[in-house]
Amino acid sequence: MVTVDAILLGGGLGTRFAETSQNLKSELPKQFQLLGGVPVFVHCLQSFIDMGIFRQIVITSPKFHIRTAEDQILNHVRNPNRIKIRVIAGGERRQDSSRLALETLEENQLSPTRVLIHDACRPYISEELASQIKSCLFDRAYGAWVPSIPVVDTLKKIKDQQVVETVDRSLVHRIQTPQIFEFTLIRSLMERIKDLTELNFTDDASLCEYYGIPVGVFKGDVRNIKLTYDFELETLQGVLAEAKRAKTCAPESATTFTV
């Protein structure tokens, strides 16, 4: 039997977002800002709850905002008691937050078979992406899976404010989250690098690459935007509004009766 748990990483303070924000109504980190009346992280949390496949979800938060996260869950999540949800303090680096969340998943239950790790600041999970996620969570052909988006811009290497060469963009993809892992694999790798302060990974799959472990790729979604700068709140608002309109306008399926 394959059991799956999920982690939402929201332990950062979002300094780049704060630096570009002109009209914030509060000083809360970006994952707690309202997007369409709902906190940013709650959008993806609700999507994972609605998928109905996760046993438990652990959310990392800046330690001084744990109560904020818990209150927002109670106030904005539909049926929050459908699944076990825990909020914990994140670590100094991304990998520290991931390790702490992985440890938490083991505290009161048996270890899951597979684990999904997602950025709390990527609020929109489309139905298409959710379908891809479900498939890869139960496909153990790879110990790790990541969503990928082809690069459409021209890429150039720059040195000293001068172009050095043009990079073949067909060989380069943008990697998103959620990323999916065999639990025992990512747990052991995180433990292995726990005290290696010189290592700093910008995503969890990079840890697998570092140790030569193959990583599978599935189709990502250009709407799976990571909120980094203030203007992206407006972009994401448009994405969510369009998704809501499409869902509202979708024709109801007909029911056929055989006599």
Mean pLDDT by 10 residues, the chain (259 residues): 96 60 69 95 97 96 96 93 94 95 91 97 97 96 97 96 96 96 98 92 96 97 94 92 83 44
pLDDT at 258: 37
Number of Cβ within 10 Å of residue 19's Cβ equals: 9
Backbone angles phi, psi at 195, to 5 degrees: -105, 10
Q: Would you say 105 and 117 are in contact if contact means Cβ atoms under 8 Å apart?
A: no
Superfamily designation of domain 4-249: Spore Coat Polysaccharide Biosynthesis Protein SpsA; Chain A (3.90.550.10)
Query: ∠ CA(72), CA(113), CA(199), 5° rounding?
Result: 75
Q: Where are the domains of the chain?
A: 4-249
Number of Cβ within 10 Å of residue 130's Cβ equals: 17
Alpha-carbon span 252 to 56, nearest angstrom: 32
pLDDT at 247: 79
Q: Would you say 44 and 74 are in contact if contact means Cβ atoms under 8 Å apart?
A: no
- pTM of the predicted model, to two decimals? 0.90
Q: Would you say 1 and 9 are in contact if contact means Cβ atoms under 8 Å apart?
A: no
| Burial class of residue 180 in the structure, from the number of CB atoms within 10 Å of its CB (0-12 exposed, 13-18 middle, 19+ buried) | buried
Number of Cβ within 10 Å of residue 122's Cβ equals: 24
pLDDT at 248: 80
Q: Would you say 49 and 77 are in contact if contact means Cβ atoms under 8 Å apart?
A: yes
pLDDT at 73: 97
Alpha-carbon span 227 to 206, nearest angstrom: 21
pLDDT at 15: 53
Nearest partner of 37 among 222, 228, 236, 247, judged by Cα? 236
Could you tell me the CA-to-CA distances from 197 to 59, 96, 98, 145, 201 in Å, in that order? 23, 10, 15, 26, 11
pLDDT at 211: 96
Could you tell me the CA-to-CA distances from 94 to 53, 63, 116, 165, 166 in Å, in that order? 25, 14, 15, 32, 31
